Amino acid sequence: MNLETKWLEDFVALANTRSFSASARQRHVTQPAFSRRIRSLEQAVGATLVDRSTTPVGLTPEGQLFLVTARNLVEQLNESLGHLRGLAMANEALDIVAAHSLALSFFPPWISRLQQGIGELPTRLLAMNVGEAIHVLREGNCDLMLAYHDPHATMQLDSEVFPSFSIGQVKMAPVCLPDEDGEPRFSLEGEESIPYLAYTQAAFLGRSVRMLLKNDPLRLRLRTVYETAMAEGLKGMVMQGMGLAWIPDFCIRQELKQGRLVRAGDEKWDIPLEIRLYRCSLVHKPGVEKLWKQMQKLPRDFLQG
């Protein structure tokens, strides 16, 4: 049997409120996520614990019997953890998920600047692709999400359930190695075929590039020779002279400044994107609430640097 502690806590909450929606609010998750967790508990114990045919919901005989065990386990665990932690919930580190390139190149200077305005902010950062990050946020398995936003290339999150702060502007620029004269080795302005280093089909940044090229004859000249979901991975291949790629500008500033990379086309080929910090409004973790209120007091230009 593979049980998760949060499922037991969910079940105890549901037994107390007899309402999926009220329990979801109490457990700081969306109602669909809460319902899936209760079903996962039932699958793990091999019995139907909740009678969903009544309003308010009730417990089956198996559920009533299991409730005694669940309450005892939750109480014992909370008592033990209370002795071990000795810390208030508001002082716990905030769990943040972020797109890989944002985690590597954007997050460090941004969080440093933010802490200059609001003070020390303990955080735990996990890098993943944007699609996975959205799933983690919706499931209530993180406190905040740092992600790109392109209104033309992605499905929008409900702004009431998932409010956000705009914390940066970025452009994706087509770049490649320079030739001996410092000119782009692969130019978008020519007519020859170009080795193209592409984002994978599901990658968020890939959708933005495809939107740019959707109706442009240039797409016929791009010969895909490599694919990855990560901007840093494409940057590494560009640095090896393997082709041309669209890379967020904050990932390549030093390389462009030093002439180790050059633009492969003028600014008409740039793709503007926004960087946003998201939270779930159904989650009321003290540390998140405190951060959100502090950020609302900061000037917009300070948030965006």
C-alpha distances out from residue 227 to 20, 117, 120, 269, 291, Å: 43, 39, 39, 20, 37
pLDDT band at 156 (very low <50, low <70, confident <90, very high): low
User: In the prediction, which pLDDT does 163 show?
Assistant: 92
Q: Is the pLDDT of residue 152 over 80?
A: no
The residue type at 27: R
If one looks up domain 5-85 in CATH, what number appears?
Answer: 1.10.10.10
The Cα 172–Cα 29 span in angstroms is 34
If one looks up domain 170-272 in CATH, what number appears?
Answer: 3.40.190.10
User: In the prediction, which pLDDT does 179 show?
Assistant: 95
Q: Is the pLDDT of residue 87 over 60?
A: no
**173 CB burial (10 A radius; 0-12, 13-18, 19+):** buried
User: In the prediction, which pLDDT does 190 show?
Assistant: 82
Domain boundaries, given as residue ranges, for the chain: 5-85, 89-168+274-304, 170-272
The residue whose two tokens read 């700081």 is: 28
Same fold, 5-85 and 89-168+274-304: no
User: In the prediction, which pLDDT does 217 show?
Assistant: 87
Q: Which of 95-109, 149-163, 287-301 has the highest mean pLDDT?
A: 95-109
The residue type at 305: G
User: In the prediction, which pLDDT does 86 show?
Assistant: 45
Q: What are phi and psi of 185, to 5 degrees?
A: -65, -30
% residues pLDDT > 70 (the chain):
92
Find, among 16, 114, 129, the residue nearest to 70 by Cα. Answer: 16
Judged by DSSP in three states, 167 sits in: strand
Which residues lie below 8 Å from residue 267, measured CB to CB, with a gap of 6+?
none
C-alpha distances out from residue 245 to 181, 225, 231, 257, 264, Å: 20, 11, 9, 18, 9
11 in Cβ contact with 72 (< 8 Å): no
Q: Is the pLDDT of residue 89 over 60?
A: no
pLDDT band at 59 (very low <50, low <70, confident <90, very high): very high
Find, among 126, 278, 99, 272, the residue nearest to 199 by Cα. Answer: 99
* pLDDT tens per residue, range 13-42: 999 999 999 999 988 899 999 999 999 999
Q: Taking the CA atoms of 200, 206, 207 and 212 in sequence, report the sign of the dihedral they define.
A: negative
Q: Is the pLDDT of residue 305 over 60?
A: no
User: In the prediction, which pLDDT does 124 show?
Assistant: 92
CB neighbourhood size of 232 (10 A): 16
256 in Cβ contact with 175 (< 8 Å): yes
User: What is the chain's alpha carbon radius of gyration, rounded to the nearest angstrom?
Assistant: 24
pLDDT band at 83 (very low <50, low <70, confident <90, very high): low
* pLDDT tens per residue, range 253-288: 999 999 999 999 999 999 999 999 999 887 777 888
% residues pLDDT > 90 (the chain):
52
Query: pTM score > 0.75 for this model?
Result: no
Q: Which helix (H) or strand (E) holds 245?
A: strand 245-248
Q: Is the pLDDT of residue 154 over 50?
A: yes
Higher-confidence residue of 254 and 73: namely 254
**Domain formed by 89-168+274-304, architecture:** 3-Layer(aba) Sandwich (3.40)
